[in-house]
A and B are shown apart, each in its own frame.
Chain A
Amino acid sequence: MLKPKALLIDITKCVGCGACTQACAEANNLPQEEAQELSATHYTVVQNYHDETYVRRLCMHCNEPTCVSACLVGGFTKTETGAVIYDESKCIGCRYCMQACPFEVPRYEWNSLAPRVQKCRMCYERVAAGGQTACSEACPTGATMFGDRDELIEEARKTIDENPGEYVDYIYGLKEAGGTSVLFISKVPFEKLGFPMNVPKEPIPDLSWRVLSQIPRYSVAAGVVLFGIHWITARRTEVARFEAEEKRKKENGQ
């Protein structure tokens, strides 16, 4: 029984070599080219902040993904490996997933006539077959670690506790959006590295479900009330009809 996997990225260990981006491009048949931002052809990029702090960007593979709940045709799935993957065969291109993602991850093939949403797949097939992600395998410094989510959390906790002053006491992704499968630890405060700090700490789909779950109840009640109002006020129509009939009779000289 496969335990859910995750990635732990230790920003202090990243030297910006780009091995992860190259391995990712190779594993996913994407063009080998430099980029500063995620795109339809870049599932992960390494960004350079201030003096030599390198930060990877990629899909956070949330445990209760917003994209999974947002997609009206169920085009996204949270898999047993922890990866959140996209099924292009269902997609209608409404781009609600892009609008909804709190980390602004999904990217679009804007120049295609049959555009797909593109994002990191956490090497689903490789991981399901027992392997690890291409990026974690390629990383020379151990900045990107692959493993069971709970073990990686313990590892992150240990690293922070055993190196006081070397890390901000915060695991990014532990609580964000109710918990993600991509976690970060860092020496530089996360808000200085472009991480969104206002992501709710509960699962975001709950925000929609709170409203949607009320619909059956209110629809039934509304139906009853509306039919009721029609029935109660129907007398008005009868009276109007009677009066019009009387008027017509009078006009015809009856």
Chain B
Amino acid sequence: MKFPGLFKLTFWKVVAVVLMTVGLIAAIERYSMGLGSTTNLADTFPWGLWIGFDILVGVGLAAGGFSVAATVYLFNIERFRPILRPTILTAFLGYLLVIAGLMVDLGRPWAIWHALIYWNPRSVMFEVAWCVMLYTAVLALEFSPVVFERFNLQRPLKIIKTITIPLVVAGVILSTLHQSSLGSLFLIIPGRMHPLWYSDIIPFLFFISCVAAGLAMTIFESFLSSRALGREVELPLLSDLARVIVVVLALYFTVRIQDLINRDALQYVFEPSYQSMLFLGEVVLGVIVPFFLLLGRKIRTSKAGLFYSSVLVLLGFIAHRINTAITSMEQWPTRTYIPSWQELFITLGLAAFGFVAFSFAARYFNVFGHGSRAVELRDSKSPAVEGVASVPAK
């Protein structure tokens, strides 16, 4: 196992190590001292950064997994296959990080298995827990061919091939369910949320936005990996993804505005207030601006245009989730919240770990297709499409 340049010092490597180290220290404090002294959570504010970011954003950014898998396997659009494996890897790591974040936030993490034996199907949380569990298993199975190939385990590879389509269908259904249900968690508190974010169509909004964010994350990850691994981005594919993002953003915006009007909540957008400022930031910078940027062909087909527009979509998505979980619940002066340093660094440390894990996996496994083409062709029943290296044996 060779990792050329592993110990070469770069800026981002130092940043990653620092974040993970401080995050680890913070995690040790959290487990040895309890939530009270290591977080700024309180009876008046039981959910904070770990729910708002680690869980809500983490799950959303992994949404590329089900969209691209559906595109390749269900819509049979073969030319997107090159980005399938990296997207599945991103999604799989994303869900593992979400579970790690959960283990830190839960007051009794050792009891997490209770969800397997104590059932309350009337609870949205129950549905979220089960769908996340099952979908993480689906992702593991969808990623397993990469591992089986590496160790040349032919039998397991064949077994996975036969169940790929049902797996992908299950993955789409499970993802749709829990992506929207993370929003449905908030349906139960109409009186406690600010009207700019509470809506009975929250599940629908969460789902639409995760499609855009998942694809933006795929684009973002493509650029980062291409730089790290010294390979070219598949620009035409990414530009096509960007076109989908444009349409999804348009849908999201129109549905959101209509909903605000229906609920008589449009007035809150224009009163100068802390909430309206954050709302405008979220929608203008995260939806309207990238929509217009990506609408233009020049920007959409340029590397810089694609990259920075995707970053805006991601930031807007993060803002929406954090606004929903945190901002909407705040009420000055009694209910306010700023994360503690432990909360912040555990979050950053987990994110850094995700980047590191991705980069190790990308070098150790055939994720980007610079591996054994002969093996692929011999075992593959699917077309060796010209120029495409990454063809998971089917």
Residue positions of A touching B, CB distance < 8 A: 37-40, 66, 69-75, 90-96, 98-100, 102, 104, 107-108, 110-115, 196, 198-200, 204-205, 207-212, 215, 219, 222-223, 226-227, 229-230, 233-237, 240-241, 243-245, 247-248
Contacts and interface: CB of A to CB of B under 8 A. Distances in A.
B265 interface: no
27 contacts: A37-B43, A69-B123, A70-B123, A71-B125, A72-B123, A73-B118, A74-B118, A92-B112, A93-B106, A93-B109, A94-B107, A100-B188, A110-B41, A111-B36, A111-B37, A115-B107, A115-B108, A198-B190, A222-B172, A226-B169, A226-B172, A233-B74, A236-B77, A237-B78, A243-B383, A244-B384, A245-B383
Contacts of B384: 244, 248
A108 B44 CA distance: 10
A114 B108 CA distance: 6
Contacts, number: 184
B383 A240 contact: yes
Contact of B74 (A99, A100, A226, A248): A226
A40 to B, nearest CB: 8
Contact of A237 (B37, B125, B383): B383
B173 A226 contact: yes
Give the 3 A-B residue pairs with the shortest CB-CB distance, closest first: A93-B107, A110-B36, A73-B118
Interface string B352-394: 0000000000000000000000000000011111100000000
B266 interface: no
A207 B201 CA distance: 11
Contact of B129 (A72, A212, A230): A72
Give the interface centre of A74, A91, A208 by most chain B CB atoms within 10 Å: A208
A107 B118 CA distance: 22
Contacts of A115: 34-35, 107-108
Contacts of A37: 43
Contacts of B189: 99-100, 102
B46 interface: yes
B73 A247 contact: no
Nearest to A247: B386
Contacts of A212: 121-122, 124, 127, 184
